[in-house]
Amino acid sequence: MLVTFKVFEKLPEEAKFIRTTVFVDEQGFIDEFDESDNKAIHVLMILDDKAVGTSRVIYSKEHKSYAIGRFAVLKEYRNQGLGNILLQFTEKEIVKRFGHIQIGVSSQMQASEFYAKNGYNRTEPTYFDQHCLHVWMIKQL
């Protein structure tokens, strides 16, 4: 099992496929793609020769920090530690580009334990994004 990464300044088709599969088809989100995609850094995780996970990094003016978002791993590749690997790579990419800083994530409540185990702390009350309960979490890098 060989895990590699590619980083893009423009949203790649493989990331569109993963996000559509996870957020639209599985979770029922409607507005998956937005203006932030045009300003984001996109990370693609490849297992052997197949794209299996993605994330993006944007600057959040509201929170005055870089934010990891649209974090997704295809269903058949979950619970194998790949999410941890993708998160760690994305964090390292942030440090490489922007230095040691505070980063944030708008986490679905169902995923907040995953982020907590990776050093993120809740900072705000919960809120709905589309139909899904979220919480803002931060970590110092």
The domain locations on the chain are 3-140
Q: Which fold has domain 3-140?
A: Aminopeptidase (3.40.630)
User: What distance in Å separates the CA atoms of residue 76 and residue 34, rounded to the nearest whole number?
Assistant: 26
Q: Is the pTM of this model over 0.85?
A: yes
Neighbours of 74 (CB within 10 A): 19
User: What distance in Å separates the CA atoms of residue 102 and residue 67, rounded to the nearest whole number?
Assistant: 9
Q: What is the pLDDT of residues 8-22, one digit of tens each?
A: 999 999 999 999 999
Output the six-digit token pair for 39: 């300003």
Q: How far is CA 46 from CA 82, 86, 116, 117, in A?
A: 10, 10, 25, 23
Which pLDDT score is estimated for 101? 86
Which pLDDT score is estimated for 137? 96
Q: What is the pLDDT of residues 93-134, one digit of tens each?
A: 999 999 888 999 999 999 999 999 999 999 878 999 888 999
